Amino acid sequence: MSELLDMLSWLLLAGGLLFFAAGSIGLLRFPDTLSRLHALTKADTLGLGLVVAGLSLRADSLLEVAQMLLIWLLVLASGATACQLLARQCDEEGGDE
């Protein structure tokens, strides 16, 4: 059973890494600011969720799992809020530079 959890943990961590890479590539490649923000926040939020899930399978206690989940929830809230504020500011300025 331990080997199965180890394999699942590595798969989740690798999936998180792929989403982080996809978000970074989207940040560099997409043409306008709003598309870049969307790619970065969505991919990085999912990537962090997969990393937290993978690390939770390796955690020694429920306290560690709870702390990681709390961090992920805070990143969810702050990432969405920051992206929304930046998108509104870009829309008000009318620029897609």
Q: What is the pLDDT along the chain (97 residues), one digit of tens a residue?
A: 689 999 999 999 999 999 999 999 988 998 888 888 888 888 889 999 999 999 999 999 999 999 999 999 999 888 888 888 887 887 777 655 5
d(CA 23, CA 28) in angstroms, rounded, equals 9
The dihedral built from the CA positions of residue 51, 46, 87 and 95, taken in this order, carries a sign that is: positive
Q: Are residues 41 and 80 in contact, defined by beta-carbon separation less than 8 angstroms?
A: yes
Domain holding 74, by residue range, is 2-93
Number of domains the chain is built from: 1
In 3D space, the residue among 61, 46, 38 whose CA is nearest the CA of residue 12 turns out to be 46
